[in-house]
Amino acid sequence: MNYLNVVSSPLSASSDSKDEPNNEDLEVDNSKSVLLKIATLYAEQLMSDLVLEVAGVGYPAHRLILCASSEVFQVMLMNREWSEWCESRIVLQETPIAASVFPHFLKYFYTGQIKISHQTVLPVLSLADKYNVKVSIKVS
């Protein structure tokens, strides 16, 4: 089992400064494992600190992930002037079509992946716009 993923990278020549990388430095890339751990928090509903309610369905979530993923959630959950900042359950008003894709949209915050079809592209984009979520699209 591979516990550390070490990636060689071209680094500058050695220097007298301790902060400067040298040819003997290695970059450790554990990003896939970290992302998997974050995705597991969502999949297993572990350690959630609030519930987002959409169309009567509760979705356990994490303030940290919501704030890191959405500028709107960041303002809503970190600003004492908003009533939601201290709530443990937040009711979101969504159209029926947006509500139907909301679990996939929320899962995207944790995994960075979402499947979009002709039927779901507009509601997903609508949610991304509403919550000011920046999306980089890589079509595969």
CA dist., res. 132 & res. 125, Å (int): 10
Domain housing 44: 30-130
The answer to the question of residue 5 being in a domain is: no
The answer to the question of residue 42 being in a domain is: yes
* Residue 7, pLDDT score: 52
Task: Check: CB of residue 52 under 8 Å from CB of residue 29.
Answer: no
In the chain, the number of structural domains is 1
Question: Could you write out the DSSP letters of every residue in 77-132?
Answer: HH-TTSGGGG-SEEEE---HHHHHHHHHHHHHHHHS-----TTTHHHHHHHHHHTT
Please list, in sequence order, all residues whose beta carbon lies within 8 angstroms of the beta carbon of residue 37, skipping any fewer than 6 positions away. Answer: none
Splitting the chain (140 residues) into consecutive groups of 10 residues, what average pLDDT does each group show? 49 51 81 85 83 97 94 93 88 97 95 92 96 77
Q: What is the CATH number of the domain that holds 81?
A: 3.30.710.10
* Residue 20, pLDDT score: 64
The answer to the question of residue 37 being in a domain is: yes
Tokens 């969504």, residue? 94
* Residue 77, pLDDT score: 94
CA dist., res. 92 & res. 57, Å (int): 10
- For residue 57 the two structure tokens come to 């369905």
* Residue 19, pLDDT score: 61
Residue burial 100-118, b: 16+ Cβ < 10 Å; e: rest: ebbebbbbbbbeeebebee
The number of angstroms, rounded, from the C-alpha of 20 to the middle of its chain's C-alpha atoms is 31
* Residue 91, pLDDT score: 97
The answer to the question of residue 138 being in a domain is: no
The answer to the question of residue 68 being in a domain is: yes
The answer to the question of residue 70 being in a domain is: yes
The answer to the question of residue 54 being in a domain is: yes
The answer to the question of residue 17 being in a domain is: no
State pTM to two decimals. Answer: 0.73
- For residue 100 the two structure tokens come to 């139907």
